[in-house]
Amino acid sequence: MTKDSDPTSDTQLTGYACIQRYVKTLDSSPGVYRMLDADSRVLYVGKARNLKARVSNYARPGHSGRIERMIAATASMMFLTTRTETEALLLEQNLIKQLKPKYNVLLRDDKSFPNILVAKDHAFPQIKKHRGAKKEKGAYFGPFASAGAVNRTLNQLQKAFLLRNCSDSMFDSRTRPCLLYQIKRCSGPCVGLISETDYLESVKDAERFLSGRSTKVQEELAEQMMAASEAMEFERAAGLRDRIRALTQVQTSQGINPRGVAEADVIGLYMDSGQACVQVFFIRANQNWGNKDFYPRVGADVSPAEAMEAFLGQFYDNKEPPRQLILSDAIENADLMQEALSEKAGRKVEILVPQRGEKQELIAGALRNARESLARRMSESATQAKLLRGVAEAFDLDGPPSRIEVYDNSHIQGTNAVGGMIVAGPEGFMKNAYRKFNIRGDDLTPGDDFGMMKEVLTRRFTRLQKEDPDRDKGHWPDLLLIDGGAGQVSAVHEIMVEYGVEDIPMVGVAKGVDRDHGKEEFHRTGQRPFALKRNDPVLYFIQRLRDEAHRFAIGTHRAKRAKAVGATPLDEIPGVGAARKRALLAHFGSAKAVSRANLADLKAVEGISAGLAQKVYDFFHDKG
């Protein structure tokens, strides 16, 4: 239940006084608490076995600098009681991910991981990469740390087991084997070059290999190779030898293949100077399926135990935990976390902090990777900070910019026009902040770059003023870079004056007279254009920003153009999604044929109901 009462409603208290008044209203229930500032922004989310006892701790002095600052800013609190402490833990991590409070340890990179799927909805199963919800029928193997790790494994598995990776529609339409058959990456089931029984035997071998029974598979292949050789079937023996080599290549590329650890995530945490790197190795079926590093937001006074616990809670919030978590650092609530993850997985999940043996060696490897990754990141951050100071000096800014927004447009003679915005800051490119703008101005002349830029900036500033009117959420840029010279700068300045944001520094980046990389001119409102020295690192930095904006805009434009090429009038009919569109096109052959079909023929299409058939018919035969 939620406690809505506000004991500070009569007088706006902050800090210790505010918290002390809340303590009087609490009982010893488990639950989650939120600390909010005077503007009702969430500062911190925490859990408690006993809410009254936990919040009482904040009502007394003697905390670290980070917690003291948080307490001083606290103007109100919110509470949600739960039945158990395990529920409180799960709710806490969910709220942290949702609200991103300033004073919590926060995991910033939390994408899903790819799997290998052996699809089972076809007589000849397909092997492929899969990411997202496991809705397709088949056997899933993973997670793998990256798409690259999956692709490398799939490449070798194709060599070893000759399984198809083509789509079902491509499979059904083949009349002769494709290139993959010619280069010995597929056994050609699409044209009957392998029987269904033999193909399914290969599928079974692939699944056994991915399940960790690789030695048995290789032994059987070796026996078959010897038998083929003795029977003087040298071509078949050579093929089996190549398959054994491919399996060996998979294992070699994995590097670490622990014998005593069948299924675990090995998690190493390294902290230095208020920054942290967490390295995760995915061990499945006694094989290393890759590793990935994460950089949670921590403070100088955050302990390894607190950082590790926060990482586990947020990382496994939307992922299934393995049977073992092998950690470099113990956490305070190991029993609670173990119970919560076991409940989530529907089986026992064990948390270990090994001191010796193979598991400790795995942790040592993860820690070494974490330490080296953090050192590289800190070095890159120092270089980036130096470049940002150079940008501030070159463009007469008040200080190094924390957020640079760079804009570019892309089109072909005005068609499929898009605007692209990329963002950079102290940690490099901020790709989660990139934005695309589909140019929709009906009054624009095709190819009107000024008009396109005006539309993009108008929409951008309108949104900023709506979402962050006080400019205190970090969404506003400290510097705008636009692709163009004096004309573009003048057009953008008009928009900025109209929206009252002309205080934001804005620079136009234009190619020099020879349109040569290195002779860029920089334009600012009311000032003469200038150039930087050809070997100036700041110039190279600006070029990288401009090129990244150009790359992003062109990529977005190409995607839009490709989508437009595949578009048909069927896309505009309500209720006709991708599957029904495919069904109609497969039945009639083209959208034009669909438009000419009579109602009875439309009703005969599989998956098209009588009601939808009527909609399709009416769309093309509007009696208006």
CATH number, domain containing residue 84:
3.40.1440.10
Residues 131 and 186 in one domain: yes
Identify the CATH number of the domain in which residue 270 sits: 3.30.420.10
Residues 552 and 586 in one domain: no
Q: Write the secondary structure of 496-562 as one string of H (helix), E (strand) and C (coil).
A: HHHCCCCCCCEEEEECCCCCCCCCCEEECCCCCCECCCCCCHHHHHHHHHHHHHHHHHHHHHHHHHH
Residues 155 and 36 in one domain: no
In a domain, 434, yes or no: yes
> Of the candidates 84, 86, 58, which has an alpha carbon nearest to the alpha carbon of residue 72?
58
> Of the candidates 63, 21, 169, which has an alpha carbon nearest to the alpha carbon of residue 579?
169
What is the rounded distance in angstroms from the CA atom of residue 377 to the CA atom of residue 381?
6
What is the rounded distance in angstroms from the CA atom of residue 575 to the CA atom of residue 594?
15
What is the rounded distance in angstroms from the CA atom of residue 413 to the CA atom of residue 543?
25
Identify the CATH number of the domain in which residue 522 sits: 3.30.420.340
pLDDT at 216 (0 to 100): 65
pLDDT at 517 (0 to 100): 59
In a domain, 45, yes or no: yes
Ordered DSSP codes for 12-26: ---HHHHHHHHHTT-
| Domain count within the chain | 5
Residues 424 and 557 in one domain: yes
Residues 551 and 610 in one domain: no
pLDDT at 249 (0 to 100): 62
- Domain final residue, candidates 64, 99, 134: 99
pLDDT digits (tens, 9 = 90+) for 444-487: 555 567 777 888 888 899 999 988 888 877 889 999 999 888 88
Residues 66 and 34 in one domain: yes
Identify the CATH number of the domain in which residue 596 sits: 1.10.150.20
Work out the angle between the directed axes of helices 15-23 and 65-73 (0-180°, nearest 10).
80
Ordered DSSP codes for 329-367: S--TTHHHHHHHHHHHHTS--EEE---SHHHHHHHHHHH
Residues 80 and 198 in one domain: no
pLDDT at 623 (0 to 100): 46
In a domain, 230, yes or no: yes
In a domain, 426, yes or no: yes
What is the rounded distance in angstroms from the CA atom of residue 220 to the CA atom of residue 156?
18
- Angstrom CA distances, 162 to 207, 224, 404, stand at 13, 16, 49
Residues 123 and 250 in one domain: yes
> Of the candidates 412, 417, 409, which has an alpha carbon nearest to the alpha carbon of residue 442?
417
- Angstrom CA distances, 224 to 27, 233, 250, stand at 71, 11, 20
Residues 70 and 13 in one domain: yes
- Domain final residue, candidates 254, 274, 294: 254
What is the rounded distance in angstroms from the CA atom of residue 51 to the CA atom of residue 26?
7
Which segments in the chain show pLDDT lower than 50? 1, 4-5, 8, 10, 413-414, 515, 623-624
What is the rounded distance in angstroms from the CA atom of residue 489 to the CA atom of residue 524?
7
Tell if the pTM clears 0.75, that is, is over it. no
- SS3 of residue 265 by DSSP: strand
Residues 337 and 418 in one domain: no
pLDDT at 8 (0 to 100): 47
Q: Which domain holds residue 512?
A: 404-563
Query: Is the preceding peptide bond at 143 cis, omega within 30 degrees of 0?
Result: yes
Residues 78 and 160 in one domain: no
* CB 430 within 8 Å of CB 424: yes
Residues 435 and 515 in one domain: yes
- Domain final residue, candidates 515, 531, 563: 563
